[in-house]
């Protein structure tokens, strides 16, 4: 194992849409020492682009149904516009980075999600991470910037949950580095009260997490995010934190996941 700490950071789409907060975040990220990886979401860009192209966006329980037209838009916006814009901004901050999706270097291999009660369409569940390829980039002081798009072994691109991408990257690379995982989104962390932005639960262990689930305190997009957190903690990630655009700053108020 390398004697380095790898920071894997996921930023949500809503923060990307806030230019001021996004610039602050990128400065904080670019100033991080040592190897690091950035994974970004897409926010409403794909929905807006689909509307302009005359495509309807279908959602079920807050999750996008990715039909063939939606997939084309997602590849264009996530893998193209957003990804390359982030890379360009990081280069301007002297952070040498490269924009990637799962097809590049076979970095994120997935399988198409099976149809159960809901057919999510062209959505990928991650099967394999090419940690050797990614580590080779990090060894050259290159920062990978991943869009949430994976690829099957047959060469099919699939829309993939960005939080899952971040968690699986951190898990896979924990055999090479001491890996840390950071989820940056619009809230200061996991909230005890959804309408009180200052009710941050600063330390969250598995027992407390299960109690909050039973109390229905955790819901919507926070459900898969925290599921990924505890899976990552169980599978070798050394540190996991959740918070807003200031998460990478010292003394920021945020949630830390505990075993």
Which residues are annotated binding-site positions for substrate? Answer: 42-43, 64, 159
- Inter-CA distances, 96 with 35, 86, 132, 204, 224, Å: 11, 11, 19, 34, 31
- Inter-CA distances, 208 with 62, 119, 222, 226, 259, Å: 25, 33, 15, 12, 11
The whole-angstrom separation of Cα 148 and Cα 42 is: 8
Where are the extended beta strands (E) located within the chain? 5-11, 36-40, 58-60, 63-65, 97-100, 108-112, 124-129, 143-146, 149-151, 157-159, 178-184, 203-204, 239-243, 255-257
Residue 242: closest CA among 143, 163, 149: 163
The whole-angstrom separation of Cα 114 and Cα 97 is: 34
Enclosing H/E stretch for 67: none
**Which segments are annotated as binding site?**
42-43, 64, 159
């Amino acid at each position: 194992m390398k004697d380095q700490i790898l920071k894997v950071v996921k930023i949500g789409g809503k923060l990307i849409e806030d230019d001021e907060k996004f610039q602050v975040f990128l400065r904080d990220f670019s100033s991080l020492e040592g190897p690091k990886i950035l994974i970004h979401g897409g926010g409403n860009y794909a929905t807006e682009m689909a509307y302009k192209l005359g495509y309807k966006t279908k959602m079920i329980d807050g999750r996008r149904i990715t039909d063939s037209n939606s997939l084309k838009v997602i590849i264009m916006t996530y893998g193209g516009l957003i990804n390359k814009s982030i890379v360009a901004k990081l280069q301007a901050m002297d952070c040498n980075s490269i924009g990637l999706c799962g097809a590049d270097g076979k970095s994120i291999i997935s399988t198409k999600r099976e149809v159960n009660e809901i057919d999510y369409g062209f959505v990928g569940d991650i099967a394999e991470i090419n940690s050797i390829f990614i580590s080779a980039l990090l060894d050259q002081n290159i920062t990978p910037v991943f869009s949430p798009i994976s690829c099957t072994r047959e060469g099919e691109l699939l829309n993939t949950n960005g939080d899952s991408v971040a968690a699986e990257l951190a898990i896979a690379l924990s055999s090479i580095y001491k890996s840390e995982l950071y989820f940056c989104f619009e809230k200061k962390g996991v909230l005890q009260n959804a309408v009180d932005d200052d009710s941050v639960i600063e330390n969250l262990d598995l027992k407390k997490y299960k109690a909050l689930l039973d109390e229905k305190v955790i819901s919507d997009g926070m459900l898969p995010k925290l599921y990924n957190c505890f899976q990552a903690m169980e599978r070798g990630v050394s540190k996991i934190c959740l918070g807003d655009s200031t998460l990478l700053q010292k003394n920021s108020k945020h949630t830390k996941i505990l075993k």
